[in-house]
Structure 1
Amino acid sequence: MTTSEMSATHGSGGPAAVEHSAAACRSQRHTRVQHLIAADEHSLVDLATLLATLPLCSTGRVFVEVPDSRWIDALPVPPRMVVTWLDRSSRSGEAGTGRACPSGAALTRAVTAWADEMLCAEGDETRIELLGGYVGTADIADHLTERLGIDPARIHTPERFRLFDAR
């Protein structure tokens, strides 16, 4: 299936399909699904695979935490999506500690801050893909479910983490 043929229920497994042709995506009435995607240097292959499956009309944010600026590269995302690279080497750990930014901390701070601002509308249907390391992914998932009340079924994490076994 090509990107232009994908349904609006991409990733949700839902039964209702909506045409995803170039003409449908240009329509003002076409529903554009927002995405929140978080990744790190260990999940770049999974991130590239996910991005390749998104419809051209997708909107949202992609946050990628990396050890330093040498990892930063262009990512092929739909035109209505924004990529934010989080370079750990240029960030600090917790305020006042003087420590370096640990793995997952920059991603957690950025994603939870964005979610607090952007996922506040009742009935929000943002698709959430957390591909980063375990600690950052678990912290983000906890924030989304406990503080923002997002249904864990809407949050997709690597199966190996077993964050939502009850699903």
Structure 2
Amino acid sequence: MITQNEHNETVCRSSRHTRVQHLITADESSLVDLETLLVTLPICSTGRVFIEVPDESWIGPLRAPARMTVTWLDRSRRAGAPGTARSCAPGEALTRAVTGWAGEMLCEAEAAAHTRVFLLGGYLGTADIVDELTSAYDVDAASIHTPERFGLATAR
């Protein structure tokens, strides 16, 4: 008998299989943590992975479930805050990418309830993203996972 939590090719192809979407962020300091997380996800996982890096030399192959979209954000090719001549600060590209994604994907309350969030990037971007998701999109803080060392009020 197949249990509801079991994941294999047959179960994942079933139209009755419950799917949650994932939002995962990382930066150059958390690539190993990102790779570790991705290999633990079921093969049927869906969602988005945003990875912010200083420049294109950091971009490389990454194994993720087939239904996950991976987007590399090269800070050296991005501008800072609109209307300024500043360069893109660490965490800024991630925050903008997640805000845009959330505006499209979390427009219904049910979508936020079926989203698991893993924020592996640096503190500033992570704190901004937590604030944005919990205040603007009513994402439950319990579904947002951040590095414990940040001390952000999320469930573990």
Which band: TM-score by shorter chain?
over 0.9
2:78 to 51, 75, 91: 91
Tell me the residue number matched to 2:133: 144
Aligned pairs, number: 153
In the alignment, the residues of structure 1 paired with residue 10 and residue 147 of structure 2 have an alpha-carbon distance, to the nearest angstrom, of: 34
Instruction: Please tell me whether residue 27 in structure 1 is matched to residue 14 in structure 2.
Output: yes
* TM-score normalised by length of structure 1: 0.87
Shift of 1:32: 2.0
- Structure 1, residues 49-105: CA drift from partner, whole Å, max 9, x if none? 000100010000000000000101111011111000000000000112111101000
1:62 and 2:49 aligned: yes
Task: Name the structure 2 match of 1:40.
Answer: 27
Deviation at 1:116, TM superposition (A): 1.5
1:123 aligned to 2:110? yes
1:16-47 Cα deviation digits (max 9, x unpaired): x5221221012122122210001100000110
| Unpaired runs of at least 5, structure 2 | none
SS of the counterpart of 1:123? helix
TM-score of the pair, normalised by structure 2? 0.93
Structural RMSD (CA): 1.7
Q: What displacement does 1:165 show?
A: 6.3
Unaligned runs of 5+ in 1: 8-16
Amino acid paired to 1:146: S
CA contact (8 A) 2:95 2:129 kept: yes
Q: What is aligned with 1:74?
A: 61
1:89-126 alpha-carbon deviations (Å, 9 max, x no partner): 00000112111101000010001110121012222211
Higher mean displacement: 92-101 or 61-70: 92-101
Tell me the secondary structure at the aligned position of residue 142 of structure 1: helix
Check the 8 A contact 2:142/2:155 in 1, yes or no: no
SS at match of 2:110: coil
Q: Is the 8 A contact 2:27 2:53 kept in 1?
A: yes
**Using the alignment, how far apart are the partners of 2:105 and 2:7 within structure 1?**
25
